[in-house]
Structure 1
Amino acid sequence: MIKKVLIANRGEIALRVIRTCKALGLKTVAVYSDEDYNSLHVKQATEAYHIGKAAPRESYLNQEKILDAILKSGADAIHPGYGFLSENSDFAQLCEDNKINFIGPSAASMDLCGDKMRCKAAMLKAKVPTVPGSPDLVKDVEEALDVANEIGYPVLLKSVYGGGGRGIRLVTSDKELREAYETVTGESIAAFGKSAILVEKFLEKIRHIEYQMARDKHGNAVHIFERECSIQRRNQKLIEQTPSPAVDQKTRDRVGELVVKAAEAVDYTNLGTAEFLRADNGDFYFIEINARLQVEHPITELVSGLDLVKLQLDIANGEPLPFKQKDLHMNGYAIECRINAEDTFLDFAPSTGPVPDVTIPSGPGVRCDTYLYPGCTVSPFYDSLMAKLVTWGQTFEESRVRMLNALNDFYIQGVETSIPLYKTILKAEEYKKGNLSTDFLKRYGIIDRLTEDIKSDQKQKQDAAIAGAIMHSEFFRSKVKSSHAPSHRWKSHMDRR
């Protein structure tokens, strides 16, 4: 049984895992780079080990240093969080070879999930529908052109080894495809050291809907409902919610059955996410399995009542799932906003530096997973995600209003944030009506609306400041005037004279 867990990560996800481990009475081991010496996850873990310089390749991506920390600490399990080594099958294999319980799928299953072409073939065999495209990897740009002309533009060029929006390009012509092919190949080699390209049909006005799945080591599998992740920029998720406004119970059950088939098709164990594109006609197409805990897992926790990190630990311990599909029920509505350190008006450029002060929102139905504290620093070496702000309500509207209030209460000094953008999105009628798609920002001119909202907000502040100055001036004049007038007592005394 797991007694001590090393968290091979940093920031809010490391804190999230530590929180559950503490509740279960498990010891925790943090690892940290030079940059994270004063980070909260280092302070909250039972013990901590320095693993290198700030650059990820010298610390959080350095498998040998992390393995050394595991062996020195005596940890018997490792939780990879998300990002970094969480979906690296070589690292999972390294853990298996050293008899360390990797809290996630097996190395073989992870390797299969990470290879988009092999995974797609496994889905087709299991009769899980996939997006039309090349039946295999394209060997060169000429073959990619042939496939694109056969299925029709627009198409997506995708690196098999990409992920999180990297290694993907939308092209609408032969000329664009030739240019993009070299770009995607170069990006994949730079990020993953290898490249393999496939071509898929681009589906317009699509929704990105994913399903949380869980499968134990005894072959029991369930889905834990869907998450709508359609509000994105450059294929990076910004806001997630559950349930999806496009999924009714009949659809939820139907696609959920496909999710279970997908987990079985790749012999998946532990928690993962099956991702789908929903076409405008309502058809669902499988795109990939994320073989890890997702950034947006808190919204599933809020509507299911489950602690998903605890569930991961239980499955890693060899315990069977404590429920069947019929035992799971959705309760209420949840929304998550990824609070990023980015400047929306500089093309979402990262914003880094000290955070002298911060106010974390709280209240009924409000949860904030974050590494922020007054005096911390947002590092230029790591992802821009600073916090995950999550709200729950009995209705979608209650959850939405709570989110708007929480965003208004969230104060982060020193860096630019995505908070103003989210307030504009949540106030948009299209969002309130559930008219979502992966091109939501562009389709509804959200950035232009944000500009107008900021101008309006500034004008209101200026008007309020002017009104305050006028009131202060009138009050001052009235005080001066009264100070020169005889008091009632003096006037009364004069009358008596």
Structure 2
Amino acid sequence: MGKLISSILIANRGEIALRVIRACKEMKIKSIALYSDEDLSSKHVKSADEAYYLGPPAPTKSYLNIDRIIEIAISAGAEAIHPGYGFLSENETFAAKCEENGIIFIGPTSEAMALTGDKMKCKEIMKNAEVPTIPGSDDILEEVDKAVEIAEEAGYPVLLKSAYGGGGRGIRFANDEKKLREEFEMAAAESRAAFGKSGLYVEKFLQGIRHIEFQLARDSSGNGRHLFERECSIQRRHQKLIEFSPSSVVDKKTRSKIGEIAVRAAESVDYLNAGTAEFLRDEKGNFYFIEVNSRLQVEHPVTELVTGIDLVKLQIKIACGEEIPFKQDDLNLNGSAIECRINAEDPFHDFVPSVGLVPDCNLPYGPGVRVDTYLYPGCSVSGYYDSLVAKLITWGQDFN
């Protein structure tokens, strides 16, 4: 067992900052908040034991300002930093800076984070660990003939994607060789225009997919556990809206099998702390690994409600050097839980963020009902940050 952490700086804001502060209070750990000009009156600032000014509202000058955050952590005597989710939570440079300054980063090591953040490298590692990945190319393709060869191995239809960026740019669909050859040059040109590079890769197009992720935890002694699955198939513009557990398409046998694969994925990159292995399930029931999210997820309360395990407290204990206090066989999936993300958006104008004063708010409550939010009567929703304002999570014996 390692030394108990006595103070944690939360490098975040909003509901996730409040969530970490709550765990700190229950563990009798001093909580240290940060705030920008925009967050002077925010709830997390009032709830923390100490609060320090970061800078102007713009994220690059506040919650993404690595040097300023480290400077505050050192001057405040913070023993550890919890990054929450978003902002710097998956930034290996930030994790490395914490390590360099003797500050415990509550999350994976910078080396593991760098591996999970490199799509092609991570895929290579997973294949070597016999973790099933989406069929396709392992390297960047420069020649159309090589793309055709890989597409024939993977099976049509396929997608042509740019290895240098996302956002839908550089993606082309091909259902046969003729179409693939036609699209290759157009995809390369589109990729060059968007990213300045033309490197492409081929990936099998999966049909009738479900997006299913497994919650992971791994300690410094190498003990890995999965805390079952969450289904995240209901999305808009590739952003999750509703998450629930258990998945209606995952039975006990499949849960055990894919859970073991998820733990193997964590072991293959020497992962530390809490994270998530994400999979796509095709219409035939095959699971394919897509990525590891090297942080606490927005939807972590779903897992907390069906397992009874406080994931933030578990993160802190692992960061202290403690071993995970339960075996895989000790875990039970209890009931069902669902989370709905509540975003400040205008549905009449293509769901653009809606900002400004919240004159009043009435939060639901009752048995099996949980609300994680930073809202209170008279608060403001800022246009500088994410539009997520609350998460409504409910639990029951089953989905009925």
- TM beyond 0.5: yes
**C-alpha separation in 2, matches of 1:279 and 1:141:** 27
Question: Residue in 2 aligned with 1:155?
Answer: 159
**C-alpha separation in 2, matches of 1:312 and 1:277:** 26
TM-score when normalising by structure 1: 0.74
Unmatched tracts of structure 1, length 5 or more = 398-497
The aligned runs of 1:23-62 (5 Å cut-off) are: 23-62=26-65
Question: Residue in 1 aligned with 2:360?
Answer: 357
Kindly indicate whether the alpha-carbon contact (under 8 Å) linking 1:116 and 1:161 is maintained by their aligned counterparts in 2. no
- Provide the secondary structure at the position in 1 that maps to 2:376: coil
**C-alpha separation in 2, matches of 1:196 and 1:30:** 42
Aligned pair in 2 of structure 1 residues 171, 196: CA closer, same or farther (>3 Å)? closer
Aligned pair in 2 of structure 1 residues 311, 145: CA closer, same or farther (>3 Å)? same
- Provide the secondary structure at the position in 2 that maps to 1:54: coil
The aligned runs of 1:218-367 (5 Å cut-off) are: 218-367=221-370
Kindly indicate whether the alpha-carbon contact (under 8 Å) linking 1:341 and 1:386 is maintained by their aligned counterparts in 2. yes
**C-alpha separation in 2, matches of 1:313 and 1:294:** 15
Q: 1:67 aligns with which of 60, 70, 74?
A: 70
Kindly indicate whether the alpha-carbon contact (under 8 Å) linking 1:76 and 1:100 is maintained by their aligned counterparts in 2. yes
- Provide the secondary structure at the position in 2 that maps to 1:359: coil
Deviation digits for residues 360-403 of structure 1 (CA, Å, limit 9, x no counterpart): 11111110000111111111111111111100001111xxxxxx
Kindly indicate whether the alpha-carbon contact (under 8 Å) linking 1:153 and 1:201 is maintained by their aligned counterparts in 2. yes
Question: Residue in 1 aligned with 2:125?
Answer: 122
- Provide the secondary structure at the position in 1 that maps to 2:265: helix
- Provide the secondary structure at the position in 1 that maps to 2:88: coil
**C-alpha separation in 1, matches of 2:12 and 2:192:** 28
Q: 2:106 aligns with which of 103, 106, 120?
A: 103
Kindly indicate whether the alpha-carbon contact (under 8 Å) linking 1:227 and 1:300 is maintained by their aligned counterparts in 2. yes
The aligned runs of 1:160-239 (5 Å cut-off) are: 166=167, 170-173=171-174, 198-239=201-242
Q: Amino acid of the residue matched to residue 58 of structure 1?
A: K
Deviation digits for residues 8-37 of structure 1 (CA, Å, limit 9, x no counterpart): 011110000000000000001111111111
Aligned pair in 2 of structure 1 residues 326, 158: CA closer, same or farther (>3 Å)? farther
Aligned pair in 2 of structure 1 residues 58, 313: CA closer, same or farther (>3 Å)? same
Q: Amino acid of the residue matched to residue 280 of structure 1?
A: E
Kindly indicate whether the alpha-carbon contact (under 8 Å) linking 1:232 and 1:239 is maintained by their aligned counterparts in 2. yes
**C-alpha separation in 2, matches of 1:185 and 1:298:** 41
Unmatched tracts of structure 2, length 5 or more = 175-179
Identity level (%):
59
Question: Residue in 2 aligned with 1:456?
Answer: none
Deviation digits for residues 100-134 of structure 1 (CA, Å, limit 9, x no counterpart): 00000000000000001111111100100000111
**C-alpha separation in 2, matches of 1:107 and 1:187:** 29
The aligned runs of 1:338-417 (5 Å cut-off) are: 338-397=341-400
**Equivalent residue pairs, number:** 390
Deviates more, 1:54-63 or 1:142-151: 142-151
Q: Which has the larger radius of gyration?
A: 1
Kindly indicate whether the alpha-carbon contact (under 8 Å) linking 2:188 and 2:199 is maintained by their aligned counterparts in 1. no
Q: How far has the Cα of 1:296 moved from its partner?
A: 0.3
Q: Amino acid of the residue matched to residue 290 of structure 2?
A: I
Aligned pair in 2 of structure 1 residues 259, 42: CA closer, same or farther (>3 Å)? same
Kindly indicate whether the alpha-carbon contact (under 8 Å) linking 2:37 and 2:56 is maintained by their aligned counterparts in 1. yes
- Aligned CA RMSD, in angstroms, stands at 2.3
Higher relative contact order (CA 8 A, sep 6+): 2
Q: How far has the Cα of 1:351 moved from its partner?
A: 1.4
Deviation digits for residues 34-69 of structure 1 (CA, Å, limit 9, x no counterpart): 111111111111111111111111111110011111
**C-alpha separation in 2, matches of 1:344 and 1:7:** 32
TM-score when normalising by structure 2: 0.92
**C-alpha separation in 2, matches of 1:168 and 1:289:** 22
Aligned pair in 2 of structure 1 residues 298, 181: CA closer, same or farther (>3 Å)? farther
Kindly indicate whether the alpha-carbon contact (under 8 Å) linking 1:145 and 1:177 is maintained by their aligned counterparts in 2. no
Q: Amino acid of the residue matched to residue 159 of structure 2?
A: V
Kindly indicate whether the alpha-carbon contact (under 8 Å) linking 1:335 and 1:391 is maintained by their aligned counterparts in 2. yes
Q: How far has the Cα of 1:252 moved from its partner?
A: 0.3
Aligned pair in 2 of structure 1 residues 232, 355: CA closer, same or farther (>3 Å)? same
Kindly indicate whether the alpha-carbon contact (under 8 Å) linking 1:4 and 1:28 is maintained by their aligned counterparts in 2. yes
**C-alpha separation in 2, matches of 1:186 and 1:67:** 37
Kindly indicate whether the alpha-carbon contact (under 8 Å) linking 1:156 and 1:202 is maintained by their aligned counterparts in 2. no
**C-alpha separation in 2, matches of 1:187 and 1:30:** 38
Kindly indicate whether the alpha-carbon contact (under 8 Å) linking 1:133 and 1:200 is maintained by their aligned counterparts in 2. yes
Q: Amino acid of the residue matched to residue 171 of structure 1?
A: R
Question: Residue in 1 aligned with 2:88?
Answer: 85
- Provide the secondary structure at the position in 1 that maps to 2:221: coil
Question: Residue in 2 aligned with 1:413?
Answer: none
Q: Post-superposition, which runs of at least 4 consecutive aligned residues in structure 1 deviate over 3 A? A: 138-154, 158-162, 166-170, 173-189, 194-199
Kindly indicate whether the alpha-carbon contact (under 8 Å) linking 1:17 and 1:309 is maintained by their aligned counterparts in 2. yes
Bigger share in helix: 1
Q: How far has the Cα of 1:145 moved from its partner?
A: 7.7
Kindly indicate whether the alpha-carbon contact (under 8 Å) linking 2:81 and 2:106 is maintained by their aligned counterparts in 1. yes
Kindly indicate whether the alpha-carbon contact (under 8 Å) linking 2:160 and 2:200 is maintained by their aligned counterparts in 1. no
Aligned pair in 2 of structure 1 residues 182, 389: CA closer, same or farther (>3 Å)? farther
Q: Amino acid of the residue matched to residue 54 of structure 2?
A: I
- Provide the secondary structure at the position in 1 that maps to 2:295: coil
